[in-house]
Amino acid sequence: MFGLGVGELAIILVIVMIIFGAGKLPDIGEGLGRGIRNFRKSVKTDEIDVTPRDGDENGQADDPGELPPKQS
């Protein structure tokens, strides 16, 4: 696995535990797993959505700077 032995992985784990603490490790693992799952899902998708994001159904633009001036 990437040329890392058991000793190197143990050192990395100890450093991660020192930096983040034992309480945050489950959250980090969950986020990493979710990210990998989403990446695999997006890679397996045959169809790519190239629809421009001009606004939603109500005519609202995504960026407030793109809104037309309000009429009084």
- Confidence at residue 25, expressed as pLDDT on a 0 to 100 scale: 84
Q: What is the pLDDT of residues 11-33, one digit of tens each?
A: 988 898 899 888 888 888 899 89
Sequence ranges of the domains in the chain: 8-42
Q: What is the pLDDT of residues 28-66, one digit of tens each?
A: 889 989 999 998 888 876 666 667 776 555 555 555 556
* Alpha carbon separation from 1 to 6, 7, 18 (Å, rounded): 10, 13, 23
Crossing angle, helix 6-20 and helix 25-44, to 10 degrees? Answer: 110
- Other Cβ atoms less than 10 A from the Cβ of 25: the count is 13
